[in-house]
Amino acid sequence: MPSEVIKNNLRTNRLPHIWCPGCGHGILMRAITVAIEDLKLDKNKVCIVSGIGCSSRAAGYMDFNTIHTTHGRALAFATGIKLANPDLHVIVISGDGDLTAIGGNHFIHACRRNIDITTIVFNNNIYGMTGGQYSPTTPNGDLATTAPFGNIDKPFDICELACGSGATFVARGTVYHVPSTIGYIKKGLMHKGFSVVEGLSICPTYYGRKNKKGSAVTLMNELKDKSINISKKETLDEKELEDKICIGIFKDIITPEYTDGYKKVLEQFNK
């Protein structure tokens, strides 16, 4: 029997989902629904916008106002939705490739504008749906369909990119650390401004298989063993940090929000 969270927030007639066995994306989708349920948000006031990719299938399963848009453009659609309906909780679900490659420009400018949208990045370090190509977060040296001898690009750190571009709430969780990840999503949803929650996910089918990382359980254990709280970062030197993943809240500040600024401009114009 599906749990209350699933019955209340998912389109059960669309299930079972298409994600591979062991994929982490369902965990993140559930984390978002639990966060919405815990905060008792009015479903009619929640709008979920996704791009293209395995992550972006989530919008089709979630029983809110949803829109599945074009590759990399979820934030452009979301910006229009938020400006037209400032009272909506607009949530963008996007993958590492969708958000930081095809949609990279939309991402940095949404951060810079500080528009009140919550972006949840399902980061599995690879393009899953399109066949295992390397993405902007694939670690240096790792294998992918388009990097059969190892990726020579340096990866983006999505949280650092978001912080540097002007996002005002930035956090990273993982599909292993579910309760804290739900907590970051809740904080992001309550934050007035552009919030980014990076959810480190696992893709056993492409990333795991190409890199001979073992099963989904092994990938999960890797997330568990490598993660440290961001507060410990200062206590470790560069060498000790090499193999670590920092999780937690990277930034939480309040600065003027974009739809408020836009409203003031309209008031001036209509005087």
Only one of the segments 18-26, 106-114, 135-143, 167-175 lies at the binding site for ligand SF4 (rule: CB under 6 A); that segment is 18-26
**Rounded-to-integer distance, Cα 228 and Cα 7, Å:** 34
Near ligand SF4 by CB under 6 A: residue from 5, 6, 41, 129: 129
Does residue 183 belong to the site contacting ligand SF4 (CB under 6 A)?
A: no
Which pair of structure tokens corresponds to residue 213?
Answer: 């990382």
What does the angle CA 170 – CA 173 – CA 179 come to, to the nearest 5 degrees? 120
Does residue 188 belong to the site contacting ligand SF4 (CB under 6 A)?
A: no
Which pair of structure tokens corresponds to residue 81?
Answer: 């939705």
Does residue 28 belong to the site contacting ligand SF4 (CB under 6 A)?
A: no
In the stretch 30-59, what mask flags binding to ligand SF4 with x, by CB under 6 A? ------------------------x-----
Whether 95 contacts 123, CB under 8 Å: yes
**Rounded-to-integer distance, Cα 162 and Cα 51, Å:** 18
In the stretch 206-225, what mask flags binding to ligand SF4 with x, by CB under 6 A? x-------------------
- Residue owning tokens 């002007």: 166
The interface with ligand SF4 within residues 152-181 (CB under 6 A) comprises none
Q: What is the DSSP letter of 209?
A: H
Does residue 124 belong to the site contacting ligand SF4 (CB under 6 A)?
A: yes
Q: What is the DSSP letter of 19?
A: P
How many amino acids of this chain bind ligand SF4 (CB under 6 A)?
A: 12
Cα-based distances in Å from 208 to 6, 124, 141, 155: 28, 10, 14, 17
Minimum distance, C-beta of residue 19 to ligand SF4, in the bound complex (Å): 4
Does residue 20 belong to the site contacting ligand SF4 (CB under 6 A)?
A: yes
Minimum distance, C-beta of residue 264 to ligand SF4, in the bound complex (Å): 42
Cα-based distances in Å from 184 to 4, 44, 85: 22, 22, 24
Q: At residue 79, what is the residue type?
A: T
If residue 198 lies in a helix (H) or strand (E), which one and from where to where? Answer: strand 195-200
Our CB check for ligand SF4 shows the closer of 89 and 210 to be 210
Our CB check for ligand SF4 shows the closer of 183 and 204 to be 204
- Sites of contact with ligand SF4 (CB under 6 A): 19-20, 23, 25, 54, 124, 128-129, 203-206
